[in-house]
Amino acid sequence: MSAPLAGIRVLDLSRILAGPWCTQVLADLGAEVIKVERPGTGDDTRAWGPPFLRAKDGGETTDSAYFASTNRGKQSITLDIASPEGQEIARGLAARCDVFVENYKVGDMKRYGLDYESLAPANPRLVYCSVTGFGQTGPYRTRAGYDFMIQAMGGLMSITGERDDLPGGGPQKAGVPIADLMTGMYAAVAILGALRERDASGRGQYVDMALLDAQVAWLMNHNLNYLVSGAVPKRWGNAHPNLTPYQAFPTKDGNLILAIGNDGQFRKFCAVAGLDIAMEPRFVDNRSRLANRDALVAIIAQAMRARTTAEWMAVLEAEGVPCGPINTIDQVFADPQVVHRGLRMDLPHAAAGTVPQVANPIRYSRTPLEYRAGPPVLGEHTERVLTKELGLDAGRIAELKRMGVL
């Protein structure tokens, strides 16, 4: 069976992370993605190293591991869209595509004649997705937006990090650029929705995605906690604002996460830990435990130091109490469950031979995802795409290269 998006063609004018993450998801789903990059330098993240991919001869390539993490399965063409010739080529490709993704500043695409209003008449079925920091409307629309500042402005850093009254307290950003990643995921979902609607209407449409919108949207229970109660959420470190015990605890040789989500699990934990507190009025249910959080955490913390992480894992898992170790990245990829699920894989790469990748977590029963190739080298597919899609011959392509268009 073909992959779910087989036959869908995407013109990708995005770079850095949110847009490329979106289009990598679409590529995994089977779409043909043509990535448009600046001649000579390409996507900024190609240079975001070390580490860089190793070439077949053992030396370094010019492509970073960062770039490789977000661009597999795409075709790379180089094109100067600031030039009239480059704009003409981009318009020609857009007329032959189902999806157009870009993350330039508001107004840039219109200046190049590559905005939705300019492209839709020639291709009314086009789904056009713009990804910006703050969207196409509003007082911040012309501002540049970066993940770090969006995590701060969107409230995430105010609820991430240790409590102010504890050592190391203060706001923290997430360990990965989660605002970019979530915006990319929302963008992919939005594009899939627009494609599905196109099946019925026959018409494409414009999708306006903003990092700040996405960041605010996925704060989830923290949003509703505030909107319902009026109380401003605060940082809880590794603890949970609505559940306890639901945090990390030091053990005899490391740390263990307890993720107790109901009263039955709490009673099982107390029995395993030898704590005769499960039916005490101050701990009998989650509401009571939250009201007496500090006292409960102190009792559990003392008990947890009596055994190693592995010992706790064995006895708690046997009783169905949710728990887990805090793994380093090397331990993650050595974990038997991760190995069994095939999350680490290798794909072909023009300069490196092969490149390690992490599989998309989506698992379909009938239409498996497609991993056609690793990330492309800069301009790897320029001649092929322009010849096949626009009929440019070798002479014209050579001329455009001399002009700096390609």
The amino acid occupying position 36 is V
Q: Let me know whether 149 and 187 are in one domain.
A: yes
Contacts of 356 (CB under 8 A, 6+ apart): 344, 345, 346
Which is catalytic among the residues 180, 253, 285, 330? 180
Q: Let me know whether 148 and 79 are in one domain.
A: yes
pLDDT of residue 168: 87
Residue 272 falls inside a structural domain: yes
Instruction: Note if 180 is an active site residue.
Output: yes
Domain count, the chain: 2
Q: Pick out the chain residues at pLDDT < 50.
A: none
pLDDT of residue 37: 98
Domain region containing 276 = 246-325
Residue 131 falls inside a structural domain: yes
Q: Let me know whether 158 and 279 are in one domain.
A: no
Residue 50 falls inside a structural domain: yes
pLDDT of residue 229: 97
Q: Report the greatest alpha carbon distance in the chain.
A: 84
Tell me which of 325, 358, 385 is where a domain ends.
Answer: 325
CATH of the domain at 301: 3.30.1540.10
pLDDT of residue 115: 98
Residue 178 falls inside a structural domain: yes
Q: Let me know whether 307 and 357 are in one domain.
A: no
CATH of the domain at 84: 3.40.50.10540
Contacts of 406 (CB under 8 A, 6+ apart): 39, 77, 78, 79, 80, 379, 382, 386, 397, 400
Residue 45 falls inside a structural domain: yes
Residue 358 falls inside a structural domain: yes
Q: Let me know whether 128 and 56 are in one domain.
A: yes
H-type alpha helices, 230-360: 263-273, 286-291, 293-304, 309-318, 329-334, 336-340
Task: Region of 8 please: left (phi>0), alpha (psi -120 to 50) or beta.
Answer: beta
Residue 368 falls inside a structural domain: yes
Q: Let me know whether 52 and 155 are in one domain.
A: yes
Q: If you search the block for the tokens 């840039």, which residue do you land on?
A: 108
Q: Let me know whether 313 and 364 are in one domain.
A: no
Residue 333 falls inside a structural domain: no
Q: Let me know whether 43 and 148 are in one domain.
A: yes
Q: Let me know whether 208 and 251 are in one domain.
A: no
Q: Let me know whether 90 and 205 are in one domain.
A: yes
